[in-house]
Amino acid sequence: MVAPSAVPDIQKWIDDVPLGTEHCVTITSTPDPNVYAVELGLRGATEGVILQRITVAPSPEGYKIAKVEDA
């Protein structure tokens, strides 16, 4: 996913997760100050762990998600 479509794509995925699913998110910095390692744990009707790398970029409104990649 790459901006400007990154947020709508993320929202569609969020909307598809069954109601009642519990989430645990761990965000870790990386050597690149604009890149974060993300571990998303899901428990409930959907189970598992999703590993992602999220890149942010400055914008006039502050930092925004520029790219979401599978890790």
- Give the chain's end-to-end CA distance (angstroms, integer): 13
Cα diameter, the chain: 39
**Residue 15 pLDDT:** 84
Residue 9 has pLDDT above 80, yes or no: no
Residue 71 has pLDDT above 50, yes or no: yes
pTM above 0.85, yes or no: no
Residue 45 has pLDDT above 60, yes or no: yes
Provide mean pLDDT across the span 42-52.
88
Report the C-alpha gap between 59 and 62 in whole angstroms: 5
Residue 1 has pLDDT above 50, yes or no: no
**Residue 5 pLDDT:** 52
**Domain limits, the chain:** 6-70
